[in-house]
Amino acid sequence: METVSVEFGYCPLPLRISGHGFAIEPLDDLDSIVKKIGNCPVIKDGWLYCSPAPASKANYPPERVFSLPKTHVLTIQGSPDEEKLRFVVWCLSFLIGMRLTTTEAGFLDATPIEPRLLVDFFADEKSIVGGLERALRFYDLCGNGKNPKPNAKRYEAAIHALFLSQNPRNLDFEAFFYLYMTLDNCFSIMSKNQDGHVPLPHSKRLQWMCDRLKISTPEWAKSIDKKKKKNPNVSDIRNNTIHEAIFMGEPLGFSVLDPNSYSTEKPTSTLLEMRYLICRLLVSILDEEASCAPRISYVGSSIETRSTHSLDFS
């Protein structure tokens, strides 16, 4: 059977896995690459930051966009399809919780160089294989590489925005932008998977997704009861931020979403819960039976804890 391959990185894990239709192997110089990256002077708390670069003729700003060496090779069976290769690498990024890319310069501002910093779950190699097999099926249902249907590209965009939201240098309004866009992206994928589009206002979309997947709806995501004026919804924050450039009552950058989010005594973080909800939505979207009930226990786990959960795709 015909196969097609692509190198990707940066991943410090010595992944050597295979499943139905794909295989991943480390490059021969993985150890030396990991050692070299580990000695970079712009690393803090597991994140590598883009260092100032001289001006170049590249089509991107070199002071913000940077590259890292490739560490692995992905091979899939079937006719050549570069879009499919990239989609599988995006999904692998999500499953191991760090940005991976097949492109020359696929990193923006900063990126983790350690796994699992961007998600709240742990997927072992068996679960990664199961997740990637689901990713291949998902992609095949979305279309082909020359004219892919929107949901495959939406899924990639959701992963990227989720990752961008966690740059340690983000202000609250910046993280909120990325996370709300990602939640709306998930709604777009899930609603268009139904028999016809689900016409819901922003204030009801998050609860619709949680109800459909039997996920406990967080307070900030519940539908607003305008008569009783209860349950303030993040859609209100979204409206003020997008339409008026006002975030939590102040111009952008002069307020935080949760006053206690930076407290060591009683930390609360809507942003954190938004990230964790997105992780569960992305897992459920990959799982073809999730529309009926979450057979993956992780999907129904609490988003109010900072614990790491096990993700089992087997």
Q: Which one, of 64, 111, 248, 240, lies nearest residue 171 by Cα? A: 248
231-259 CB burial, b ≥16 within 10 A, e <16: bebbbebbeebeeeebbbeeeeeeebbbe
Same domain for 124 and 193, yes or no, is no
Q: Which structure tokens are listed for 96? A: 């191991």
294-309 CB burial, b ≥16 within 10 A, e <16: bebebbebebeeeeeb
Highest average pLDDT, of 13-17, 217-221, 227-231, 296-300, comes from 13-17
Q: Is 138 among the domain residues?
A: yes
Q: Is 165 among the domain residues?
A: no
Candidate from 124-128, 226-230, 239-243, 290-294 with smallest mean pLDDT: 290-294
Same domain for 74 and 209, yes or no, is no
The helix (H) or strand (E) run that includes residue 271 is helix 270-286
Q: Is 111 among the domain residues?
A: yes
Q: Is 155 among the domain residues?
A: no
Q: How many CB atoms lie within 10 A of CB 169?
A: 9
pLDDT in tens, 2-22: 899 999 999 999 999 999 999
Residue 266 has pLDDT above 50, yes or no: no
pLDDT in tens, 156-175: 999 999 999 999 999 999 99
Same domain for 180 and 140, yes or no, is no
Burial (0-12, 13-18, 19+ Cβ within 10 Å), 292: exposed
Number of domains into which the chain is organized? 2
Asked whether 41 and 93 are in contact (CB, 8 A), the reply is no
User: What is the predicted pLDDT for the residue at 194?
Assistant: 57
Mean pLDDT value of segment 183-188: 95
d(CA 62, CA 222): 42
Same domain for 111 and 182, yes or no, is no
Q: Is 157 among the domain residues?
A: no
Q: Whole domain around residue 244: which residue ranges?
A: 172-314
Q: Is 166 among the domain residues?
A: no
Same domain for 2 and 60, yes or no, is yes
pLDDT in tens, 61-119: 888 999 999 999 999 998 788 999 999 999 999 999 999 999 999 999 999 999 999 99
